Amino acid sequence: MTLIHKVEHCHTMADVRRNIDALDERIVALIAERSGYVAQAARIKQNANQVHDQARIDFIVDRVKAMAAEQGAPEAVIEAAYRAMIDAFIEFERGEFQRLRPQPSQEG
């Protein structure tokens, strides 16, 4: 496996952890940005049944696995991470969809 992106040669676990922590900061920022688009999807979609789109999920997973292969990343890790993230974002989007469309109260 040849990584396209250069990975710094580490001499200690502190070096490894420092680099991973720096990557985590970037990853969290990107996930936060992605969540803004998922929130917009909840606003744009007209029907709750549109929140789970299996064809789109399959497309994303296939796409990121291909990207992983091109960049020398472990495809199984990328697939598992994306499937978990997509599942979590589906729940987030369902919540946003409901929040944006409050149901009338059933009092009476």
pLDDT of residue 103: 83
pLDDT recorded at residue 93: 98
Closest to 43 measured CA to CA, from 95, 82, 84, 88: 95
Is the pLDDT at 1 greater than 60? The verdict is no
Domain segments of the chain as ranges: 13-106
CA distance 20 to 85: 19
Q: Do residues 39 and 51 lie in contact, with contact meaning Cβ atoms separated by under 8 Å?
A: no
pLDDT digits (tens, 9 = 90+) for 23-70: 999 999 999 999 999 999 999 999 999 999 999 999 999 999 999 999
Of 24, 53, 23, 26, residue with least CA distance to 38: 53
Q: How confident is the model at residue 4 (pLDDT cuts 50, 70, 90)?
A: low
Full-model pTM:
0.87
CB–CB of 43/96 below 8 Å? yes
pLDDT given at position 53: 97
Report the alpha-carbon distance of residue 108 to residue 105 in Å, rounded.
9
Nearest to 100 by CA among 30, 47, 32, 35: 47
55, two tokens: 């064809």
Using pLDDT thresholds of 50, 70 and 90, give the confidence band for residue 2.
low
pLDDT score for 104:
79
Which fold would CATH assign to domain 13-106? Answer: Chorismate Mutase Domain, subunit A (1.20.59)
